[in-house]
Amino acid sequence: MPAKLSVNLNAVAMLRNRRDLPWPSVTGLGRIALEAGASGLTVHPRPDQRHIRFSDLPEIRALLDDEFPDREFNIEGYPTQEFLALVEEHQPEQVTLVPDDPAQATSDHGWDFSGQGEFLQPIIARLKKQGFRVSLFADPDPEQVPHAAALGADRIELYTGPYGACHDDSGKAAIELEKLGKTADAAANIGLGVNAGHDLTVANLPALARRIPGLCEVSIGHGLAADALEHGMAQTVRRFMRACEG
């Protein structure tokens, strides 16, 4: 089965936030993506609300509940008490924990599972007690995988930024792809699910899907939003879903 596609709406929200106007509509474009076949929607509500606003969360939750009850809501972020309160209020199917500093422009590394395990373990337990699937943002490092599993996570999300950065160098891309593949292999060997995200495109996604045939989900925002400017949201979602087939 191909990896599921979760459409990250942050870039849509950031464009909207350039003006004090309600367009482009985050929920409107989310609806188009879901109608085109996307398996879910992802948001990363940062403390400064520079793209997704806290007020967007109940509207997205209602969109999924009312019109697409078989799809998933994925909320990602650094697990501050404020973030955890947002998660508990809006009840996503999946929570993806990322080790971002609030000042970062975007996610750029995974957790140090062995070094930060004492911090993460009670947070993961709190989230899982409420029935959320928990995914942890991870660098491509097979040796870190057992530590992620020991913390109680359901999945890891492979940080694919270095792979995406090799868009103009096929040799380097192959090296980065194998790092991701070996990490996914290690996860599969111990029953840990694997998601992936960051700088994935229609061009580089098929090779990733072929190397990691058990990939559960890809979360894509920037590349998908860029393509949507050219092809429209519905056609772009269909293009990315085909790319997930390998």
Residues designated catalytic:
44, 76, 198
Strand-pair partners of 133? 94
Provide the H-helix boundaries in 17-50.
26-35
CA proximity to 75, closest of 117, 85, 240: 85
Pair 23, 16: CB distance under 8 Å:
yes
Q: What is residue 232's three-state secondary structure?
A: coil
Residue 235 three-state SS: helix
Q: In whole angstroms, what is the distance from residue 222 CA to residue 106 CA?
A: 11
Integer Cα distance of 43 and 62 in angstroms:
14
77 in helix, strand or coil? Answer: strand
